[in-house]
Amino acid sequence: MSFLKRAFRDAVSQGVRKGIGDAIGKAVQQTVEPRVTQYANETAQRIDKAADNAARQAAESTAGLEGAFANLGRSVQNYADLVSRDLKVCPQCGQPASADTKFCPGCGGKLPEQTLGQGAVCPACGKQNSVGMKYCADCGTMLPAAAAEAQALESRNAQVMQQWEQMLPQYPKWNCGGRELYIDDYDSYICFRASFSGNDQAARQAVEQYRQLLQQNGFRPAGEYPTVEQLYKRIDGVVYRVDTEHCFDGDSDCPSIGFDRSEPRGGFDYVKPEPRKKTSLKDLFRF
């Protein structure tokens, strides 16, 4: 094989691997990475062979480049679909396992009943869709894998809100949306995040809404430098603070809200001192 052909084949191979990631998602991408499962090597070999074929086609005909790529794309999709029929993926850690496995070999978590391929069979019309699709290509029904994922997400969110009740009882509950919710407990600081998946406008509106909710619940600006980004409330002598000032540091559609008990600078009920009156010489010598 000439240098040119080999270089082309490598480029195609790389493109294919990237294409797999884009087209059919992380789960199947893992199967084309060698060493992961028995399917991985077989699939990688098939894809290499397909890439070889594509290179040959492209080299032999002048009009073949586009066609060769299209063929290659189809082959890859077919191999991935084939592999997905015998493959489960752990919803907790993402490790692939064979169809007869009940518990994840990586983390011990319970694996789904269905393989990836079965999860892409339409419950309404029976079409076998490609793995990674959310809705049936023929009739638009939500596919089982996507439905299961949505349900898992919902129950994880519900868990976060349950943690909220225990960890943040003094603060009004977040009810301002977000696709995926997180709660993290640092030593003296609890951090709550709500992902808005690429919609920073919605994220900003949600934070604004939450500030209003806080103020309706008696939280208010306090201290020497009062601001609505830092809201405080005193309950039984203890100050509770919500920090939304650094909400979008690093992530514009996933606001990060901090909760803690730090006192506002200058005290909760800080009163600005009256400016001192200027004293003139005349005042000093007045009788």
Site for Zn ion in 31-90 (CB under 5 A): 90
Q: Which of 4, 70, 107, 150 binds Zn ion (CB under 5 A)?
A: 107
Query: 131 or 136: whose CB is closer to Zn ion?
Result: 136
Q: Is 92 in the site for Zn ion (CB under 5 A)?
A: yes
Applying CB under 5 A, does 138 fall inside the site for Zn ion?
A: yes
CA 36 from chain center: how many Å? 24
User: DSSP label at 287?
Assistant: -
Site residues (CB under 5 A) for Zn ion, limited to 222-281: none
Closest CB to Zn ion among residues 111, 257: 111
Rounded to whole angstroms, the Cα distance separating 50 from 57 reads 10
How many chain residues interact with Zn ion (CB under 5 A)? 16
Q: Give Dmax over CA atoms of the chain in angstroms.
A: 112
Residue 122 interacting with Zn ion (CB under 5 A): yes
Is 139 an interacting residue with respect to Zn ion (CB under 5 A)? yes
Write the DSSP string, 182-244: EEEEETTEEEEEEE-TT-HHHHHHHHHHHHHHHHHTT-B--SSS-BTTEEEEEETTEEEEEE-
Rounded to whole angstroms, how far apart are CA atoms 122 and 145? 10
97 binds Zn ion (CB under 5 A): no
* Nearest approach, Cβ of residue 19 and Zn ion (Å): 25
Pair 248, 257: CB distance under 8 Å: no
- Round to whole Å and give the CA distance between 47 and 78: 10
> Is the CB of 92 or the CB of 215 nearer to Zn ion?
92
- From residue 192 to residue 221, the character string flagging contacts with Zn ion as x (rule: CB under 5 A) and all else as - is ------------------------------
Q: Enter the tokens of residue 260.
A: 């803690």
Q: Which residues pair with 190 in a beta bridge?
A: 185, 259
CB 87 within 8 A of CB 39: yes
Among 23, 104, 176, 222, contact with Zn ion (rule: CB under 5 A): 104
Residue 136 near Zn ion by CB under 5 A: yes
Cβ proximity to Zn ion: between 68 and 136 the closer is 136
Smallest separation, CB 32 to Zn ion (Å) = 19
Q: Please identify, using beta-carbon distances, which residue of 49 and 110 lies nearer to Zn ion.
A: 110
> Which of 1, 7, 70, 125 forms a contact with Zn ion (CB under 5 A)?
125
Binding status of residue 106 toward Zn ion by CB under 5 A: yes
Determine the residue type at 193.
R
Pick from 109, 198, 218, 267 the residue near Zn ion by CB under 5 A: 109
Stretch touching Zn ion by CB under 5 A, among 33-41, 118-126, 207-215, 271-279: 118-126
Given the complex with Zn ion, which of 125 and 158 has the nearer CB atom? 125
Nearest to 252 by CA among 214, 202, 184, 182: 202
**Sheet containing 238-243: order of strands:** 180-186, 189-195, 256-260, 238-243, 230-235
Instruction: Please report, as ranges, the residues that interact with Zn ion according to CB under 5 A.
Output: 90, 92-93, 95, 104, 106-107, 109, 122, 124-125, 127, 136, 138-139, 141
